[in-house]
Amino acid sequence: MKFLNHLTFGQYIPAESPVHTLDPRAKILSVLVLLTGIFLVRHPLAFIPWGLLLAGLTALSRLPFSMVLRSAKPVLILVIFTSLIHIFFTDGRPLIDLRIVVVTREGVTMAVYMGLRLLFLVLFASFLTLTTKPMELSDGLERLFSPLVPLGFPAHELAMMMTIALRFIPTLLDETDRILKAQLARGASFDRGGIWKRLKAFLPVLIPLFVIVFARAEDLATAMESRNYRGGEGRTRMNPLRWTGADTAALGGILLFVALLFLADRRFLS
């Protein structure tokens, strides 16, 4: 499938930029603040500054803006489905009344609002993975969760699992693309016939993919055991994390941006 070649979620793109050099904890906290701010938006027009912020951060990180936008492809179907539900099932002042189908002004507004919210959630989350190495992301998560360790919280294990999951997303996509091409070379067809025929055509893809997933998981476990991996206790780091003034400034700027947008949304757009 062609769309597999354009998915960027979970990938890291190296570049020499101020965003890449920030402490991963600062980037994780900044993204959490941004995602919280997106949930607080009440009016679709308030997403214009969010788009400008995303474009500015992308330019600052020296990444192609099209690459960041491609990360939203996996959720486009969910966005369209959610928007259609709001368009046709939200009560309000009718814009189009066909008796059977009624489109309301409030439904269109809510559809745009929810669609933009989902898109920005995915875009900012993907921006984090595009500018942060998997190991740095793991170390940052572990350090953020470390205050909960005395309470029995498995900070290192959770951070490791999340990092491995993100790391293997591009690998599994590559494996899926390779299996699809092999099946197409054998005469398989994935875009013809009804829905059930198409689902059956994917069985020769899913079965070897599951086998590959379990094989890679076993190989990873064997590799970790052979290197005497025993978890985070007593583990040292080659490059310890260092919080600098730039990290404080970046997090403070994001907090200020979200606070100003929150006040403007409540005062001028509500």
Query: What confidence tens digit (pLDDT) does each residue in 254-264 have?
Result: 999 999 888 88
How far is it, in rounded angstroms, from Cα 223 to Cα 156?
Answer: 18
According to DSSP, the β-strands at 94-97 and 102-104 are antiparallel
Specify the amino acid at residue 230: R
What does the pLDDT average to over 119-124?
Answer: 88
Q: Which residue has the tokens 């439904």?
A: 107
| pLDDT score of 70 | 80
Confidence band for 2, pLDDT divided at 50, 70 and 90: very low
Strands (E), 35-136: 94-97, 102-104
Q: Which residue has the higher pLDDT, 235 or 50?
A: 50
pLDDT-derived band at 111, boundaries 50, 70, 90: confident
pLDDT of residue 194: 66
- pTM for the predicted model, two decimal places: 0.75
Q: Quick one: pLDDT band at residue 90, thresholds 50, 70, 90?
A: confident
Mean pLDDT, rounded, of the chain: 80
Average pLDDT over residues 105-134: 84
Question: Which residues does 136 contact at the CB level (< 8 Å), separation at least 6?
Answer: 24, 241
Strand partners for 97: 102
Banded pLDDT at 3 (limits 50, 70, 90): very low
Q: CB–CB of 93/28 below 8 Å?
A: no
- Enter the DSSP assignment of 105: H
Comparing 57-66, 115-124, 145-154, 243-252, which segment has the lowest mean pLDDT? 145-154
Highest mean pLDDT among 132-141, 183-192, 233-242: 132-141
Q: What is the mean pLDDT of residues 80-98?
A: 76
Instruction: For residue 147, give the DSSP letter.
Output: G
Summarised one tens digit per residue, pLDDT across range 156-215 is 778 778 777 777 777 787 888 888 888 878 777 766 666 677 677 777 888 888 888 888
206 touches 172 (CB < 8 A): no
